[in-house]
Amino acid sequence: MPDILISENIRGEAVDALAKQFDVVVLPELWKDQAELMRQVAECRALIVRNQTKVTAELLAAAKKLVVVGRAGVGLDNVDVEAATRGGVLITSTPDQNAISVAELAIGLMLSLARMIPVANEDTKAGHWNRQRFLGNELYGKTIGILGAGKIGYLTARRAQAFGMKVLAYDPFLSRDNVLLSELQAELVGLDELLERADVVSCHLPATKSTLGLLNAERFARMKPSATFINTARGEVVVESDLVAALKTGQLAGAALDVRSKEPPVAGELEQLANVILVPHIAAFTHEAQQRVTNTICQDVGRVLSGGKAENAVNRV
């Protein structure tokens, strides 16, 4: 049995370096088979995952020798942190390593919606020259509403400001005198006010008990009919059927989704709508971010297994 089991597609020099010190097994498809995952992890001291492996209380109970779980990424919705803490298993993650990439994708999607770039591309490649059909909107002078003003929300807002956008932020964990908000000259407002005033709403909220289904019919109804909605955070925050209805009835001008309530999704109405841009949870998938994430997680797991302290521990055990 290996010391370290990697149950998703995580590779690179940092994994090779770890393998010089420990017995490492990489099984990129293992996350798909929970029973086999539980069998494989039983004797391991470390498990390294992305967002697809379900690190449940049951799995943690079966992994009697487990000391540390490395989450290569930022969201912790696939890891039962409470159960890990109870069982004395340390969780470490890579909180800031992919933030720039996610913020850059959010901006790319915002521009793509404002100028209809994907549809114009398809149309032009199909042999048309429809200049009038693609009369877009400027971002300059518009308002971006950032839902969740953590690191990614902050970096997205900073980039939006470079386009001359005004920034509104909703974050129940921040106070009005927050330094980063002041630096951005962002206005901290309530959720409903943000939805009513923003021209672009960019979601950066984690999936927690209090955010599940937060963006529902009632919330979309508050948004301007000319507004667009971008989600590069977690799909579970949105009631997708309500979003479809808002887009179909013109309650909302457009949406761009990197994340879905079920991944991979079952193709449905969203895939048919021209005012929707869909990408397959790639916000953190850049060469640079993945290298940083892999290095950080491998180093932290190696440190813990060698008796040292994790630099990015999520819990205390």
Q: Kindly list the catalytic residues.
A: 234, 263, 281
By CB under 6 A, name the one of 70, 73, 145, 148 that touches ligand MLT: 73
Q: Nearest distance from residue 205's CB to ligand MLT, in Å?
A: 12
281: left (phi > 0), else alpha (psi -120 to 50), else beta?
A: left
Structure token pair of residue 9: 């597609």
Task: Map tokens 């770039």 to a residue.
Answer: 117
Residue among 208, 284, 217, 201 at smallest CA distance from 249: 217
By CB under 6 A, name the one of 2, 5, 41, 50 that touches ligand MLT: 50
Q: Nearest distance from residue 245's CB to ligand MLT, in Å?
A: 26
In terms of CB distance, is 218 or 288 closer to ligand MLT? 288
Q: Nearest distance from residue 53's CB to ligand MLT, in Å?
A: 10
Q: Are 208 and 182 in contact (CB under 8 A)?
A: no
By CB under 6 A, name the one of 37, 41, 44, 74 that touches ligand MLT: 74
Task: Select from 71-79, 117-125, 126-134, 177-185 the region that touches ligand MLT (CB under 6 A).
Answer: 71-79
In terms of CB distance, is 72 or 194 closer to ligand MLT? 72
Q: Nearest distance from residue 50's CB to ligand MLT, in Å?
A: 4
In terms of CB distance, is 98 or 202 closer to ligand MLT? 98
- Please report, as residue ranges, which positions from 102 to 161 form the binding site for ligand MLT (by CB under 6 A): none
Structure token pair of residue 106: 């959010």
Amino acid at 116: M
In terms of CB distance, is 37 or 253 closer to ligand MLT? 37
Q: Nearest distance from residue 312's CB to ligand MLT, in Å?
A: 12
Residues 283-302, one symbol each (x = binds ligand MLT by CB under 6 A, - = not), give -x------------------
In terms of CB distance, is 112 or 294 closer to ligand MLT? 294
Q: Are 256 and 109 in contact (CB under 8 A)?
A: yes
Q: What angle do CA 198, 202, 208 make, to 5 degrees?
A: 120
Task: Map tokens 């590779």 to a residue.
Answer: 11
Structure token pair of residue 116: 């209809």
ω into residue 264 within 30 of 0, thus cis? yes
By CB under 6 A, name the one of 98, 202, 211, 294 that touches ligand MLT: 98
Residues 6+ apart with CB under 8 A from 145: 168, 169, 170, 194, 195, 197, 198, 200, 201, 202
Q: Is 51 in the site for ligand MLT (CB under 6 A)?
A: yes
Rg of the chain over CA atoms, in angstroms? 21
Q: Nearest distance from residue 75's CB to ligand MLT, in Å?
A: 3
In terms of CB distance, is 52 or 137 closer to ligand MLT? 52
In terms of CB distance, is 236 or 242 closer to ligand MLT? 236
Interatomic CA distance for residues 69 and 89, integer angstroms:
7
Q: Nearest distance from residue 195's CB to ligand MLT, in Å?
A: 23
Q: Which residue is nearest to ligand MLT (CB)?
A: 73
Residues 6+ apart with CB under 8 A from 238: 203, 213, 214, 215, 231, 257, 261
Q: Residues 211, 315, 63, 97: what is their CA dihedral angle, to the nearest 10 degrees?
A: 70
Structure token pair of residue 255: 């949406």
Please report, as ranges, the residues that interact with ligand MLT according to CB under 6 A: 50-51, 73-75, 98, 284
